[in-house]
Structure 1
Amino acid sequence: MAKSNDGEIALPFPILIGDIGGTNARFALLIDAFAAPREFPTIQTAQFDTIDDALQRCILDTTSIQPRSAILALAGPIQGDEVPLTNCDWVVRPREMIANLGFEDVLLVNDFEAQALAVASLSESDREQIGGGAETYAASRAVLGPGTGLGVAGLVHAQRTWIPVPGEGGHIDIGPRTERDYQIWPFLEPIEGRMSAEQLLCGRGILNIYHAVSAADGRETPLETPAAVTSAALAASDDAAVETVSLFSTYLGRVAGDMAMIFMARGGVYLAGGIPQKILPALRRPEFRAAFEDKAPHNELLRSIPTYVVTHPLAALAGLAAFARMPDRFGVATEGRRWQK
């Protein structure tokens, strides 16, 4: 097996990289450190009983190149030899992958760890800046991903190395601040008696806000899906939907500002996940950035930190590819998360 310059074992090529979510799984194959990733069609997890079955039928049976290694990004904590996915029935068993699928080396990482790896080197064409602030290159960054849930990760720069910091920051408490917040808060659906950021800043959170806004004003709630609410908001065809997306942008700005201070993210705060790209016109409005900067006594600090929407269609795979090519550049922890033949 190859060794990196600092003595750490690098994964041998060809390397299969994968971003596995609750609904979809995306894979690409890296032949070597210089080749462009070969992307495979997106897999719907519900169509396969196991991840091994999906890999065999959709990847290994469709290429003459046998991957020697796999780096897989999973939603959820990684512990033990059996790792269940949070939002689908797959269970990842690296030892069985090595025994049955021909891999020599399997590394599992958190899904937002992969997003954090990506933002170390996104090009200008793969991100859109929202508001002011200037990027400091060799500085820490933060990533938030409103989608099915709310993912949060940090990327710390130290000793010329990018160190991803996964966590469960999407479950921090969030509370009301404005008069309007206090009007709608009694109608929001909590989780076990408290309001977490994820109860508001994800797909079901959009509906949570929409129902609360409507209840506070005594309105009906004809819109039944997050997509319907965001579409109506962007089309300005439903007043409650317009306010919902405005409030969503405000709450996202507040939490993003909190993460910027926690990580001292002078390198920027990045919005990944499915929702920010869909509501870009709303995020360009003043509410998001105003809430991000409204952090007295540190307003000036927040004004100096840039915020971006990640527009790369496969950012997590890009992050995994960067790590696979140049493991020395990243301080990715492998203890308890790597299995070798």
Structure 2
Amino acid sequence: MTATHESADALKFPILIGDIGGTNARFAILVDAFAEPKTFPVVQTADFKNIDDAIQDSVLDKTSLQPRSAVLAVAGPIDGDEIDLTNCPWVVRPRDLIRDLGFEEVIVLNDFEAQALAVSALPETGRTQIGGGTVREGASRVVVGPGTGLGVAGLVRARKMWIPVAGEGGHIDLGPRTDRDRALWPHLDTIEGRVSAEQVLCGRGLVNLYRAICRTDGVEASHVTPAEVSDAALRNEDARASEAVHLFATYLGRVAGDLALIFMARGGVYIAGGIFGRLVPMLRPAEIRAAFEDKAPHAELLRDIPLFAITLPLAALAGLATFARSPRFYGLETTGRRWTRV
């Protein structure tokens, strides 16, 4: 079995689609091009030794359907026949999936390519706008999402196709802007002395930010998990947890504005990820929007770019389903990322 070197042709139904992050794995089966995806309960990656066991136990053992194809989005760069996930010990081996689980072909994408695919067909009801701006149809879009890590992907329209642009944009530098930032930055945990956006804008990043606030103020940190920090903020029990949540949102707005400039995303910037959804009830949209637009000398440009929170449940699976139904509408390069039975 070898990876094919061709564009994505029509896939054979039924198709297993999967969105595998650092913490959770979500699966569904697309029976045909017209059916809605049949979803299965979300599973924890930590509960399974590998993706093979997760698919067998949580999908194949729960249905009489035998998928012929699989389109999997994974949190990590795809390079070769053994794909390491960035924030999870799983290694995805497409050849093994074909040999052991009965697939005829397997396509593996980056997880935020799947989010970008979702953004290409997101209904009005699947997003909430933050502030002003106008979507320009056919213009570039970008999606950013704090979760176990910080995912980023672009979406470009060319030759009547949407082309997802994957990368590791969550690892760009994040610098201080205000006096409070400059007081906090020396107390943030770094990677080899560097504060990347992901060091602050993800689950562990929220805890990192909260601890830095406590260290700066000379108090003992009393929360050790993202849920503890966000819950304390939601209940107004801890002023430093509340500050961490609001600064998290401000920094996310700044990074979203940077990405808008990088991609010239006049089609909009879309915030995905469960963490942001959980924080939304505590946030002040005007503060996020102000941070997004605060990009002198291009504040006027940013004011015209819309910013959205994705509210569609299981958006990445919806994106994968859209691609699986009609691969020809997407300029998705599958060379080295598509394996077939021989």
What's the TM-score, normalizing by structure 1? 0.95
259-268 vs 176-185, which moves further = 176-185
Question: Which digits, 9 at most, give the CA deviation of each residue in 1:279-324, with x for residues without a partner?
Answer: 1134443221101000011101101111111111201100000000
Q: Return the letter of the residue paired with 1:296.
A: A
Offset, 1:180: 1.2
The residue aligned with 1:176 is: 176
189-198 vs 83-92, which moves further = 83-92
Query: Does 2:332 match 1:339?
Result: no
2:72 and 2:108 in contact (8 A); partners too: yes
The residue aligned with 2:316 is: 316
Offset, 1:8: 5.3
Question: Which digits, 9 at most, give the CA deviation of each residue in 1:64-100, with x for residues without a partner?
Answer: 2211100000111111112122233322111122122
SS of 2:120's partner is: coil
Distance change (3 Å), C-alpha of 1:50 and 1:226 = closer
266-275 vs 20-29, which moves further = 20-29
Distance change (3 Å), C-alpha of 1:106 and 1:7 = closer
The residue aligned with 1:186 is: 186
The residue aligned with 2:42 is: 42
Partners of 1:226 and 1:62 in 2: CA distance: 32
Greater relative CO (CA pairs within 8 A, separation 6+): 2
The residue aligned with 1:291 is: 291
SS of 2:34's partner is: coil
Query: Does 2:201 match 1:201?
Result: yes
The residue aligned with 1:234 is: 234
Partners of 1:71 and 1:321 in 2: CA distance: 9
Offset, 1:46: 2.4
286-295 vs 37-46, which moves further = 37-46
1:249 and 1:282 in contact (8 A); partners too: no
Partners of 1:8 and 1:97 in 2: CA distance: 19
Q: What is the count of residue pairs matched by the alignment?
A: 336
Partners of 1:216 and 1:252 in 2: CA distance: 21
SS of 1:114's partner is: helix
Partners of 2:142 and 2:124 in 1: CA distance: 17
The residue aligned with 2:12 is: 12
Offset, 1:7: 8.2
Offset, 1:255: 0.5
Distance change (3 Å), C-alpha of 1:287 and 1:111 = same
Offset, 1:107: 0.2
Question: Which digits, 9 at most, give the CA deviation of each residue in 1:311-341, with x for residues without a partner?
Answer: 1120110000000011122111100000011
Partners of 2:287 and 2:209 in 1: CA distance: 16
315-324 vs 155-164, which moves further = 155-164
Offset, 1:102: 1.3
Q: Return the letter of the residue paired with 1:247.
A: L
126-135 vs 89-98, which moves further = 89-98
Offset, 1:63: 1.9
2:87 and 2:149 in contact (8 A); partners too: no
The residue aligned with 1:70 is: 70
Distance change (3 Å), C-alpha of 1:32 and 1:131 = same
Partners of 1:336 and 1:44 in 2: CA distance: 28
The residue aligned with 1:132 is: 132
161-170 vs 219-228, which moves further = 219-228
Q: Return the letter of the residue paired with 1:288.
A: I
The residue aligned with 2:93 is: 93
- Counterpart mapping for 1:239-278 below 5 A: 239-278=239-278
Partners of 1:285 and 1:118 in 2: CA distance: 23
Partners of 1:276 and 1:212 in 2: CA distance: 20
Partners of 1:13 and 1:59 in 2: CA distance: 16
Q: Return the letter of the residue paired with 1:26.
A: R
Distance change (3 Å), C-alpha of 1:207 and 1:157 = same
Offset, 1:198: 0.6
Partners of 1:60 and 1:210 in 2: CA distance: 42
Offset, 1:159: 1.8
Offset, 1:157: 1.1
Question: Which digits, 9 at most, give the CA deviation of each residue in 1:128-180, with x for residues without a partner?
Answer: 11111111121111111111111111011112111000100000011111111
Unaligned stretches of 5+ in structure 1? 1-5
Distance change (3 Å), C-alpha of 1:235 and 1:336 = same
Distance change (3 Å), C-alpha of 1:229 and 1:10 = same
Q: Return the letter of the residue paired with 1:51.
A: I
2:9 and 2:327 in contact (8 A); partners too: no
Partners of 1:66 and 1:138 in 2: CA distance: 37
The percentage of counterpart residues that share the same residue type is: 65
SS of 2:108's partner is: strand
Offset, 1:231: 2.0
Partners of 2:285 and 2:316 in 1: CA distance: 27
Q: Return the letter of the residue paired with 1:315.
A: A
What's the TM-score, normalizing by structure 2? 0.94
The residue aligned with 1:159 is: 159
89-98 vs 147-156, which moves further = 89-98
